[in-house]
Structure 1
Amino acid sequence: MKMFVDVPEVYLYSQFVDFRKSINGLTAIVEAELELSVLSGTVFVFCNKGRDKLKVLYWDKTGFALWYKRLEKDKFKWPTKLNKPSLSLSEQQLHWLFDGFDVFGTSSH
């Protein structure tokens, strides 16, 4: 299933996020820590500390959309040694991440 149409950019937030945060808490992270506009259509991806859940936030011109994915087994491959708050991905890499692939290598779930 394709969730996005014409994604301008995709950013992974490199730090783990408390998943009690919803749209308002995640937009605050984007604006304060990443210093990016949440209204640009850019897709922002967040991961929990257990690395078994992802939240995806974006503005679709009518409002915010928040997607949530939880793995029943295994963990998402997530960068742990970045010196910057975010990492840019292609839309294809985002879909690979959803499918369980390591976008920084070749292993899968």
Structure 2
Amino acid sequence: MLDSAAGTQVYLATGITDLRKSFHGLSAIIKLRFQLDPYSKAMFVFCNRAQTRLKILQWDGSGFWLFIKRLERGHFRWPMNAQEIRLITLRELRWLTEGLAVEQQQAFEQRHPTLVI
């Protein structure tokens, strides 16, 4: 299953990706274009041209998981800058899959409280 444990790295492949690619094609993009290890426990997220489908590729130690989400209406607020890889948080991934932009101006900053004595 999708490993969303705290500390899991999430990489967003900005721009468009041909989502006809499956395990081998997406892992080749990760390795060759972005010079990252597709066999790490990180999640790699891709979006199609119409911004209506997402694919998440993740290695679990024994094989790849490929998760797909297709919207029936609307589109994802996907960063369309040049083909680059961007590290985001699990919180930002959740925003993205719920139809929000990755950057939320109204969101509370996540921080660890300090002990005041």
For Structure 1 versus Structure 2, the TM-score category normalised by the shorter chain is 0.7 to 0.9
Tell me the residue number matched to 1:55: 55
Tell me the residue number matched to 1:40: 40
Rg larger in structure: 2
Tell me the residue number matched to 2:29: 29
Tell me the residue number matched to 1:87: 86
- Aligned-pair distance for 1:11? 0.6
Aligned equivalents of 1:105 and 1:79: distance in 2? 13
Tell me the residue number matched to 1:16: 16
C-alpha deviations, 1:69-109, integer Å up to 9, x for none?
00000000011235x61111101111111111111246xxx
User: Aligned AA for 2:90?
Assistant: E
**Consecutive unaligned residues in structure 1, runs of 5 or more:** none
% identical aligned pairs: 37
The SS at the match of 1:16 is coil
Aligned length: 105
Aligned equivalents of 1:103 and 1:5: distance in 2? 17
Tell me the residue number matched to 2:95: 96
Bigger strand share: 1
**Consecutive unaligned residues in structure 2, runs of 5 or more:** 106-117
- Aligned-pair distance for 1:32? 0.2
Aligned equivalents of 1:19 and 1:38: distance in 2? 17
Output the TM-score relative to the length of structure 1.
Answer: 0.87
Aligned equivalents of 2:104 and 2:36: distance in 1? 28
Aligned equivalents of 1:43 and 1:27: distance in 2? 11
